[in-house]
Chain A
Amino acid sequence: MTFVTGYNLTQFNRRKDGSSFRDWVSETFDASLEISSLDRRDIDTLIVSSESDFFTLQLNPASVIADDLGLFNIEALRVEGGGASGQLAVHAGVKSILSGASKHVAIIGFDPSASQLPSETIKKLYSYSFDAWTDGMNGVSATALYALSIQIFMSETGLNEYDLANLTINNRENACLNPGAHLKINHSQDEILNSTMISSPYRRLHCSPLSDGAASIILSHKNYIPSKRKTAPEVIGIGSSVDRVNLGARLEMGEFTSKTISMKNACKMADIKPSEIGLAELYDAYAGAQFQAIKALGLSSDFLKDFRNGRFHKDGEMPINLSGGLMGQGAPVGATGVGQAATCSMLLEGEYHDELQINDIPKYALADTHGGIGTTSATSILESNIN
């Protein structure tokens, strides 16, 4: 019922050209609109996603963006869920279409890296995306929280530091083939294992960068798909869930339980099983988080064996993070979830970057995002219409 008729990601990097989020948003929307073959006057709802006004210094961004894009007199709103903001915005768009309230929805995610601020300030601000009254006040960083969780996961599953290094290498190798990626770097295992320890076991090279950038998709109701967009992929399932905010309050502190629930809901709506997913874009804020996601989403009955055997490699049976993921492509936080949906759409339509496009296009793709420490999970399943 809900088709992705337009999609785009801008370059993700640290901008030094004086441009702002308003420029990146305009750029990505114009590109998506062109692919959709719609006119801007066809858009009846705008949904934007951005994690924090601290970085944009713009409250009520949806109204400003609607104005910048010439989207007059339409419904315009912002969705926020920490790192899950973008995927939650996609879900809001899907629901708007399914309810019959909208024919065409523009969804735009963005965030600046705020590199003009001291890194300690940025770290402090992001620590407030957990429980500000406990974690935020403690001064515990995002890296430290993820590190505590992955230590438990590693002790329970046998995942080791070499796996973390190899995943880092894999994702950044993919990024090298993605012209829009932030970190196009080929690392050696030694380089990774000897990089600065941020919060054990996470070293500097295990961490995704904060980036500048934006991403967009246009969703269209089945009855209003433009004639030139008959092969547009369809969003067939969505699901989201929250877990206890405090890591210590969870029964399984090493598991991303909210993802298991969001995936169950998305699969139920799509009427498919996790084993039918052919490719995925997952939220690898840190190297270990991708393993936690694979397990929680039920994408493998033995994730470690499958990873070590190359199943998730770009040439494997179920490629993960062909874009390079957050670790390679980069992470303008509000844009990541929208970018994942855009990437999946491009791959399912055969329109992705030449060196990363899969020739044997799978039927289903998965986009999975989360906010906090796997606290808010949002999962989308897309279906290809290329055949």
Chain B
Amino acid sequence: MTRWVSGLSEGKAIALKCNQCEKSSFPPQRICDCSSSKNEWIELSGKANILVKTSGVDGDFAIAKFEGSDNSAVVSLKGFKKDEMNGKISSCDPSQPSLNLIPIKSGNE
């Protein structure tokens, strides 16, 4: 998981691509759904579409599908308005790596 964690700190979406079936996973899955353990690290664009959001006292979170990944990820939302459903990965505090999504606005695409 080291590549995943260091990628988060840099604001990069580092995924695993299966060499057997070519599916990509983000967060990375060491063993693919096809049961292959042969894979390589790839960098995704970092852009994601939000599938479902939750908000309340516990904060704002969502399930988001990142471009180039075949699975979805639970993300922490930073600065999203209610109707905003597209975002990109943002960098985080290296001492507290987390998968954060910020809204895509013109200029930060």
By a beta-carbon cutoff of 8 Å, the part of chain A in contact with chain B is 123, 131, 133-135, 137-141, 143-145, 147-148, 151-152, 196-200, 202, 244, 246-249, 253
Across the interface, name the chain B residue whose C-beta is closest to A200: B54
Q: Which residues of A contact B51 (CB under 8 A)?
A: 152
The answer to whether B57 touches A148, judged by C-beta atoms less than 8 angstroms apart, is: no
Q: How far is the CA of A144 from the CA of B61 in the complex (A)?
A: 7
Task: Please classify the interface of chain A as helix (H, G, I), strand (E, B), loop, or mixed, using the class held by over half of its residues.
Answer: helix
Q: How far is the CA of A340 from the CA of B58 in the complex (A)?
A: 29
Given contacts A151-B54, A196-B56, A198-B58, 9 further A-B contacts (CB under 8 A): A123-B58, A147-B56, A152-B51, A199-B61, A248-B63, A248-B64, A249-B29, A249-B71, A253-B63
Q: How far is the CA of A197 from the CA of B55 in the complex (A)?
A: 8
Interface string of B1-38 (1 = CB under 8 A from A): 10011000000000000000000010101000000000
| Residue from B25, B29, B63 having most chain A Cβ neighbours under 10 A | B63
Number of residues from B at the complex interface, CB < 8 A? 30
The answer to whether A147 touches B54, judged by C-beta atoms less than 8 angstroms apart, is: yes
Q: How far is the CA of A246 from the CA of B98 in the complex (A)?
A: 14
Q: How far is the CA of A231 from the CA of B10 in the complex (A)?
A: 64
Q: Which residues of A contact B98 (CB under 8 A)?
A: 137-139
Q: How far is the CA of A138 from the CA of B63 in the complex (A)?
A: 12
By a beta-carbon cutoff of 8 Å, the part of chain B in contact with chain A is 1, 4-5, 25, 27, 29, 51-59, 61-64, 71-76, 96-100
Q: How far is the CA of A119 from the CA of B19 in the complex (A)?
A: 44
Q: How far is the CA of A147 from the CA of B99 in the complex (A)?
A: 18
The answer to whether B97 touches A137, judged by C-beta atoms less than 8 angstroms apart, is: yes
In the assembled complex, the CB of A207 is this many whole angstroms from the nearest CB of chain B, namely 10
17 contacts between A and B (CB under 8 A): A139-B98, A140-B74, A144-B56, A144-B58, A144-B59, A147-B54, A147-B56, A148-B52, A148-B61, A151-B52, A199-B61, A200-B55, A202-B56, A246-B74, A248-B64, A248-B71, A249-B71
Across the interface, name the chain A residue whose C-beta is closest to B66: A248
With A246-B71, A247-B74 as contacts: A198 and B56 at CB distance below 8 Å:
yes
Q: How far is the CA of A140 from the CA of B77 in the complex (A)?
A: 10
Q: How far is the CA of A160 from the CA of B61 in the complex (A)?
A: 21
